[in-house]
Amino acid sequence: MQSPLIASDLSSRVRAWLDAHIVPAEAVLDSEGAAATGKADELIAAARRAELWGLFYPGAWGGRIDRLTDYVPVAEEEGRSEHGPMIFGSEAVIDAHMLDRHGSAAVKERYLAPLAAGLATPAYGMSEPGSIGSIPSTIQTSAVLEDGHWRIDGRKWFICRAGRAAFVTVVARTRPDAPADDALSMIIVPTDTPGFRVERELDVFGRHQGQCEISFTNVRVPAHHVLGRPHAGMGLMRERLVLGRLVRASHWLGLGQRCFDLMVERIRSPRGELAALADKQLMRQHVFEAHLSLASARALVRAAAEDFDAGRRCDVSANLAKVAAARALNRCADSAVQVYGAEGVCAALSPLAGIYRAARAARILDGTDEALINSVGRQLVGIDVTAP
């Protein structure tokens, strides 16, 4: 594994590689169809050759950074493009760690090994059309153990990467009448299993980004495909969400920093000088507020990462970090669009239009602001909460 010094070097290398290879290809990657897929595959292969792929995977599976604290600044650089997490393999980092920690030997061999080799894409199925995302007790997808196999029935939606995934980690109800803490399990389902179906792709603010609705009809998988212990899925959900929120928040900081950099670049450009933007107090206010939001969120993310690495309970710090990072991205994207004016809302003229949509979705993904604020608020006044 790598020292913090080498992790810092990796951060610089990731930034330079992203700016040289991913940013120039964003227009193609933003498109839909064979061109985008082909370009993504080409860049993933190039990132692997550059030894910049899967940097935070478990060490036994090729990872080069072992502490989240050291990975956070690297993740920021990966996140400077919306496509960075896919190209650098970090969109699968949570699945890699969950499979490594809780998968059986057979599951690791069949699913983790190809994931770590870049040969299999994972997906995670929790949200459902008829349930409340922040209330796990409303999950209705069922899994019944019969003759050494789980029989799974149900439907999930807004499932990232489901259309290209080799397997889905499904959150299912395995005890119909028990409280949520003792009723849910995480089960691995290969997407070529009979009864699994991608029903449709769902857009996010008008863009298709791999979010899908999927269904399970009498799907059968071996009993050992459960992660951890049966009926203990709530604990795994909390573990996954904490790590996932911190990794995602780090990526959002990188995207927000890119918006900040573009905004300052525009203010100092010849056109900005023509309009004397740097001399206008309201322009300086945009810069100040965006910088403040980034600096504050960055401190919260890194503090939460330290809690995580130390093995301390970090649901409060992780939720604070996630909300702060989503807000910082929104602030930076909105200010950059405002400074760019009409060019900021046109995808052909700047990347800000796409980032702006991603920023707005950040306040919903991995837990809405309201759900996390409510959870943290209850704990701060001394009312413990156990829901993710």
What DSSP letter does each residue of 320-379 carry, written as one string?
HHHHHHHHHHHHHHHHHHHHHGGGGG-TTT-THHHHHHHHHHHTTTTS-HHHHHHHHHHH
Q: What is the pLDDT of residue 8?
A: 81
Least confident of 48-62, 168-182, 183-197: 168-182
Architecture field, domain 235-380: Up-down Bundle (1.20)
Residue-averaged pLDDT of the chain:
94
Q: Across residues 270-286, what is the average pLDDT?
A: 95
**How many percent of the chain have pLDDT more than 70?**
97
Q: 255 near 216, Cβ under 8 Å?
A: no
Residue 52, SS3 per DSSP? coil
Q: What type of residue is 361?
A: A
Hey, where are the domains in the chain?
A: 4-102, 122-227, 235-380
pLDDT at 184 over 80: yes
- What pLDDT shows up at residue 151? 98
Q: 122-227, superfamily in CATH?
A: Butyryl-CoA Dehydrogenase, subunit A, domain 2 (2.40.110.10)
pLDDT score for 385: 60
Q: Cβ contacts of residue 1 below 8 Å, gap of 6+?
A: 59, 63, 64, 65, 66
Mean pLDDT to the nearest integer, 268-272: 94
Question: Cα–Cα distance between 242 and 227 in angstroms, integer?
Answer: 17
- The per-residue pLDDT for range 283-330, each reduced to its tens digit, is 999 999 999 999 999 999 999 999 999 999 999 999 999 999 999 999
For the entire predicted model, the pTM comes to: 0.94
Residue-wise pLDDT tens digits, 56-78: 999 999 999 999 999 999 999 99
pLDDT at residue 1 tops 60: no
| pLDDT higher than 90, residue 227 | yes
pLDDT for res 364: 93
Q: How far, in Å, CA of 115 to CA of 131, rounded?
A: 30
pLDDT above 60 (res 387): no
Residue 333 pLDDT more than 60?
A: yes
Least confident of 66-80, 268-282, 300-314, 372-386: 372-386
Q: Which two tokens stand for residue 16?
A: 């330079």
pLDDT of residue 386: 57
At 135, the pLDDT band (50, 70, 90 cuts) reads: confident
CATH code assigned to 4-102: 1.10.540.10
